[in-house]
Amino acid sequence: MTAPADLAALKTHEISGRVQVMEGQGGLPKIVLSSALSTAEIYLQGAHLTHFQQRNERPLLFLSRASRFANGKAIRGGVPIIFPWFGDRADCGAHGFARLREWTLARTQSLSDGAVRAVFVLDAAADEAPFHAEYCVRVGDELEIELSVTNTATDRELAFETCLHSYFSVSDIAAVEIAGLQGVHFLDKTADFALRQQHESALCIEAETDRVYLDTEGAVEILDRAWARRIVVAKSQSRSTVVWNPWMEKSARIADMAADEYRQMVCVEVGNVGRNGVTLAAGATATLGARLSVASL
């Protein structure tokens, strides 16, 4: 793995009162974005968004207190970028390499509406299928994230899966319902990828849950009764939605997650995975986006 970027060089992207570059946990470079209404933190490793919080509100994202912050190690929580594959791949690890590599901070901007934006880029290594990825984080009264992937080859297609693997902070998983997926077919990864359909109007999580919902473009809502808040996950150019909670037994086996933390989180992820994966012609670009907002319930 490459050494973390030099902080002094990164400070050229700072904007007074809006963008700050600092050393984060484990000595990893971290970018702090501050708008008039909210703040966010992004690590260059994985362009990993680890924190978003509106003023006078609870944090939106869950981050494990046991997460490792080390060069080349995945961060547990926030919004990992999953690319170019989703799930496990023999001899290649889980969820691709984008979340493990250091991205480049390309530009920052303070916007006229009070929001602030940062753009991160990642290019293929010499032995990989050629691509160029850009990840834009816009912090205002809502959180907007968008990943664009371009096939930079001139003579071949590029096939991949991608997902913005959002971990959301909740009061207690027992007080949460997930709405917006009624009638949608899903692959149940806890039952050997059996294809099933959700009939309930809202999903209540009462055991290990790992579902890949297919062919769905609608927004999803996380209804948190105890905190009286609604998290809205609005999708852009996404045909898959993933819902995950490891529950008690699996959580206890995850080294970088405290055993009881499954109660304080749920993943609702926007993506294009499985049969919704992307194939790009030479020179073409595909984008995947999410707009995350919070309202009173």
H-helix or E-strand containing 252?
A: helix 247-253
| AA identity, residue 276 | N
Inter-residue contact 147 to 289 (CB < 8 Å): yes
H-helix or E-strand containing 212?
A: strand 209-213
| AA identity, residue 232 | V
- CA 152, 48, 54: angle at the middle one, nearest 5? 125
Inter-residue contact 276 to 186 (CB < 8 Å): no
d(CA 136, CA 98): 15
Torsion of CA 28, 45, 125, 129, to 10 degrees: 170
d(CA 15, CA 17): 6
Inter-residue contact 144 to 131 (CB < 8 Å): no
d(CA 59, CA 39): 10
Which residue bears the tokens 């594959």?
85
165 is catalytic: yes
What number of other Cβ atoms are within 10 A of residue 204's Cβ? Answer: 12
- Name the active-site residue from 102, 134, 261, 269: 269
- Name the active-site residue from 51, 95, 165, 261: 165
Inter-residue contact 288 to 146 (CB < 8 Å): yes
d(CA 40, CA 69): 17
d(CA 47, CA 247): 27
Active site residues: 165, 269
